[in-house]
Copies of this chain bind each other. A is one copy, B any other.
Amino acid sequence: SIDGDRLWDSLMEMAKIGKTAKDGVCRLALTDLDRESRDLFIDWCKAEGCSIRIDKMGNIFARREGRNPDLPPVVMGSHLDSQPTGGKYDGVYGVLSGLEVIRTLNEAKYETEAPLEVVCWTNEEGSRFAPAMVASGVFAKVFDLEYGHSRADVDGKTMGEELERIGYMGPDEATIDAHPMGAYFEAHIEQGPILEDEGKDIGIVTDAQGQRWYEIKFTGVEAHAGPTPMKTRKDALLGAARVVDLVNKIGLDRSPLACATVGMMQIHPNSRNVIPGEVFFTVDFRHPDDAVLADMDKALREGVEKIAKEIGLQTELEQIFYYAPVPFDKSCVDAVRMGAELGGFSAREIVSGAGHDACYLAQVCPTAMIFIPCVDGISHNEIEEVHKHWSDAGGQVLLHAVLAKADE
C-alpha cells in the first residue's frame, strides 16, 4: 500500500512554491518558480536513488531500474506548471503520486520486471505559452522541436530561450523514438463535477474530448467616444462581444457534452473614451465527437464573418490547436479498472474534458488515466481542493495499475 500521508505532505510542500494569497498556486511554465519546483522534484527523486534524464523540451524523466533492462519503462507522471490562478493538485498530483509509487516500492524493496519512470512534462497548461501540452506533443511527434522552442509568451519570450534561462534545456532528444515507453499512466484530478456528484472515488478514463483552439483578431477604427456618431463606428470590441455571446450559444446548443469558452481578450488601445480599434481574443471548443467539433467550427466561422460584416470589421481567424477525441488503450484502461477493484474503491468510467499530456502519449504508446474527484469540480482556480481520501485512493490505484503492466 502507498503511504497516503507521505503523498499528501509532498503535495503540500510543493504547493509552497508559487503559493498565492488565496492559498492557490501561480507557477507559470518556465518561470523561476517553475525551476524551483523542478529542482525540488529532482532532489526527491535522487533521494530515492533514481537517475535523471532531461530532454530538449525540458521534460524530466526520473528512472528506477527493473529486473529486465531490455524492457521499455512503465512511465507515470504529469506536469508541475500551473495556471495564473491555479491550484495545488492540477498536474502536481500525477507527478507526486508517481513518486509515491516509487517510494512505496523502495520501502518494500520490491523489484519490478520493467523499469519505472516518473515524468514531468513542460508547459502542459498552455497559459503562458500556447498551445497546451506542447512538450508532450513534441515528444509524441505531433509537433517538431523547432515549433516547440519557438512558442512565445505575450512578451515575446520563447520556450527555447526560457528553457535555457532556467537551466532546463536538457541534452536528450525529445521524442519517443529516442526513449521508447512500455506504457504511460497519468493520475489527475477530474477538474469537473461528475465523480463527486455521484460519490465515486475513482474515474476510469476511457477517452478524452477533442479540442479546437482559435485566435481571432478584429480590426475596426479607433475614434473618440464622444463626438463619433453611433452609426459611423467600427467598434472592434462590439464585434468581439457578439462573438463571446455566439461562442456561448454554440456550446449551449450542443450541451451537455460541448464546451465553448472565450478565456482571453486584449483590447486596443483600452482607454475609457476611445472606441476600441483592435481586439484579440481566443476561443476554446471541446467535444467527445469529432463530427460535432467540426460543426462547432463551422458555426464559429460563419458567425464571425456575419458579425464582422455587420459592424464593418476586418477579421483574422486562425485555428492554432486541434486534436481529435482520444480513445485510451484498452489493456491500460483495464489495468486501472482492476486497480480500483483491488483497492475496493467506488469507480465509474469517464471521459476527460480537459486535455492532458496523456492525450498525446496515447498516440505513440499504450496509455491510460486515473481521475480522482475535486471539490465542486473546480480547477484552474485558487480554491481547487481535494479530500485526502481521494488522493490516497488515486495513488493506490496507480500502484496497482503500474505493477500490473510492469510485471506483465
Contact = CB atoms under 8 A, between A and B. Distances in A.
A83 interface: yes
A375 to B, nearest CB: 12
Interface string A250-281: 01100110111111111111111111110000
A244 interface: yes
Interface string A192-213: 1100000000000000010101
State the copy count for this chain.
2
A226 B191 contact: yes
Nearest to A242: B245
Interface string A221-247: 111111111111001011011101100
Contacts of A240: 241
Main secondary structure of the interface of A (DSSP, over half): loop
B241 A273 contact: no
Given A209-B226, A260-B230, A267-B264, A272 B277 contact: no
A347 interface: no
A273 B263 CA distance: 6
A272 B213 contact: yes
B248 A263 contact: no
Given A192-B229, A286-B226, A261 B275 contact: yes
B83 A271 contact: yes
Given A230-B255, A354-B227, A84 B286 contact: no
Contact of A251 (B125, B230, B261): B230
Number of contact residues on A: which range applies? 35 or more
A231 B245 contact: no
Contact of A274 (B263, B267, B269, B277): B263
A193 to B, nearest CB: 7
Nearest to A232: B193
A104 interface: no
Interface stretch (A126-134, A170-178, A179-187, A325-333): A126-134
Nearest to A192: B227
Given A84-B271, A273-B380, A277-B381, 9 more contacts: A126-B272, A193-B228, A193-B232, A223-B377, A226-B353, A227-B379, A230-B256, A263-B272, A265-B267
28 contacts: A85-B271, A125-B273, A126-B273, A130-B272, A191-B224, A191-B227, A191-B228, A192-B226, A193-B228, A193-B229, A193-B232, A209-B226, A223-B381, A224-B354, A224-B378, A225-B259, A228-B377, A229-B255, A230-B255, A230-B256, A241-B242, A261-B273, A263-B272, A263-B274, A263-B275, A264-B270, A265-B265, A273-B380
